[in-house]
Each structure stands twice: as C-alpha cells, then as structure tokens.
Amino acid sequence: MNQREVFITEVALRDGSHAVGHSYSIEQVKSVAQALDEANVPYIEVSHGDGLGGSSLQYGLSMTDEMELISAAVSVCKNSKVGVLLLPGIGTVEHLREAENLGARMARVATHVTEADVSKQHIEVAKKLGMETVGFLMMAHMVSTEKLVEQAKLMENYGADTVYVVDSAGALLPHQVKERIRALREHLTIKIGFHGHNNLSLAMANTLAAIEEGATMIDGSVRCLGAGAGNTQTEVLIAVLERMKIKTGIDLYKMMDLAEDVVAPLLDKPQEISKGSLVLGYAGVYSSFLLHANRAAKKFNVDSRNILVELGKRKVVGGQEDMIVDVARELAKK
C-alpha cells in the first residue's frame, strides 16, 4: 500500500443521507461500504445526515435505524475505519457509546463555528473510548479567521486529533479557504481537515486550496452524494490528486467503478447544481436545508430561493430546519 499523504473520508453514507431523504437501507450501505473498503478508502462516515440521533420530524426520520447501518458498514470493512458524526444538542454521548460498541472507530463532533465549547464532553468521551476524534466546525464562512482559530483551539484543547474547516453552505471562496487553513496551521499542532460543498462549483478548487495550505484530512462524496449540490466528488478528487502526485492510497479505477455501478443507481437523478443549491452557496445557508425549502416552497406557494435568501439574512445556523416553514409561511402572507 502506498503511504498516504492525504487521508480521505467518504461522506456519502452520512452527508448523502440528506440527498436521499434518510432512506438508506442495510443492503445499500453494505454494498457501498464494501466497495469503498476494497478501493482502500481510509474512512467511511455512516450516520443520519444530521449526525447520531438526527432521525426526527425536524430533520427527517431515518427509514433504517442508523445503528443498524453502522453495524452493516462495520461488518463489510476489512481496512476502512467507520466513522460517525455527532452534533451536541442533537446526539448525546450515549449515542456515541452505542456506535463505538458497534465498531465505529472515528468520532466527528460537529458544532456551529462559534460554539465549540459544547463539544468538550463528547470529544473527551470519544477519546476515552479510544476513538480517533475530529472537531468539526460548521458554517465556517460565517466568522473571521481569528474567531475560527479561537474555536479550533478549544477543540484541540479538548483532545481532538484533527479540526476541520467545514463549509456547510458551500459559500467559501478559494482565497478564504487558504486563509483559514493557513491560520489554523500556524496556530494549531493537530491535523487540519476540510469539508466542502459544491453549491458554487468550488468544492474541488477549495479542496485543492486547503491541501496546498497543509490540510491532510479531506472529505468527499462519491458522485457528489451529499447535501445541496453535494461535496467534493471523491473519485474525481482521487484522479486530480494522482495527477498532482499526492498520495491518497486509494485505487482510482475501483473508485470510478463503484461510483458508476454502486452509487449512481442510488440517486433518483444525478446530483447537479440546481438553482436551489446555487442559492445555498450564494446566500450562505446550510446545505441540508435544500430539500426542506423545496417542500415548503411548494406547500406555501413561494419561491424556494426567497426562503433561502431570507434564512441567510437571518443568520440561521445548521439544525434550524423549523425556521424554513416559519419563513415560508411569513413570505406567503406578504
């Protein structure tokens, strides 16, 4: 096996949960995870789109219990580590313990970019359980680099092995990613990661900017199977990095095959930058709001773009899906 220089986390089985309305089945997860394991992807994230405990009326109920999906993924992985996402306030340390017990080996603890201190309890428990632990600072476009560094340092102090800059809205521009990753490299001693969304067609450019500045933990989703317009397309990223002579240890042909033969059939239609997802990036709104906004737009007969732009103006953060109906209702009254 080649030595890896960049470590890829495949998020289609977590972020992609948004795109398929949280409908993953055990068979689907097994077939995707097995193919990813065979392609030698180091990390595979499996959870409800909003992390452990996310199955809810607020975000959408999981068709299959995520713990069963985690078990299914673990059962077919020989080398890949299965990871889970947890948002404090939604999931709890009990969910984390349960997932670890089922074989999850990486915990990614996600907070809004200004609220890192709610992750202390969960990062510490994950470390105690012996899990590789990631602090995941979401909606990173909403604050200055100084604020981001301050919050990342908190997560470093709690014991995280890596801190991620998470562009949940797909709103960051390449020079902003560079600046953020560079500042984290300067001020932190732990690994730095980047998670992009392709709403402005910048996921690849942003990811390369991040790698250039020293990020070594990178998220992607095969076929862009993630919220909004999806994430950095993993199989494409592997090819690009190979051209750049950056080692990921992942088998490119196997990735291309699984993207085409295993993942593409999961999607009702190919992921593309629709006007809705474009507005997510443009207005700086959490990517998982897209399908909820489309539904609310239909129900209240308003333009989903107006809903998303208004949500952006109100500085709504990840998890506030209930605001979508509220705003749609208000717009309909006007």
Measured from the CB atom, is 33 or 316 closer to another protein?
316
For residue 65, count other CB atoms closer than 10 A to its CB: 12
Please report, to the nearest 10 degrees, the dihedral formed by the alpha carbons of residues 265, 266, 269, 275 taken in order: -140
Per the listing, tokens 């975000």 go with 59
Q: Does residue 320 touch another protein according to CB under 8 A?
A: yes
Our answer to whether residue 18 is catalytic in this structure is yes
Among 72, 93, 107, 126, contact with another protein (rule: CB under 8 A)? 93
Q: Which is nearest to 105 in space by CA: 165, 44, 174?
A: 44
Please report the sign of the dihedral spanned by the C-alpha atoms of residue 150, residue 153, residue 158, residue 161.
positive
CB under 8 A: which stretch of 41-49, 87-95, 179-187, 198-206 binds another protein? 87-95
Cβ neighbours for 273, distance < 8 A, ≥ 6 positions apart: 198, 199, 200, 201, 229
Measured from the CB atom, is 149 or 325 closer to another protein?
325
Among 326, 328, 331, 334, contact with another protein (rule: CB under 8 A)? 326
SS3 165: strand
CB under 8 A: which stretch of 82-90, 129-137, 161-169, 247-255 binds another protein? 82-90
Q: Which of 18, 22, 48, 112 is catalytic?
A: 18
Kindly write out the interface string for residues 44-73 of this chain, putting x where it contacts another protein by CB under 8 A and - elsewhere.
------------xxx---------------
Q: Does residue 322 touch another protein according to CB under 8 A?
A: yes
Measured from the CB atom, is 305 or 329 closer to another protein?
329
Measured from the CB atom, is 115 or 179 closer to another protein?
115
Structural tokens at position 61 = 């109920």
Instruction: Round to whole Å and give the CA distance between 56 and 41.
Output: 30
Q: Please, which residues bridge with residue 217 across strands? A: 7, 193
Q: Which residues form the interface with another protein (CB under 8 A)?
A: 56-58, 88-90, 92-94, 112, 114-115, 117-118, 120-121, 314-317, 319-320, 322-323, 325-326, 329
Residues labelled as active-site residues: 18
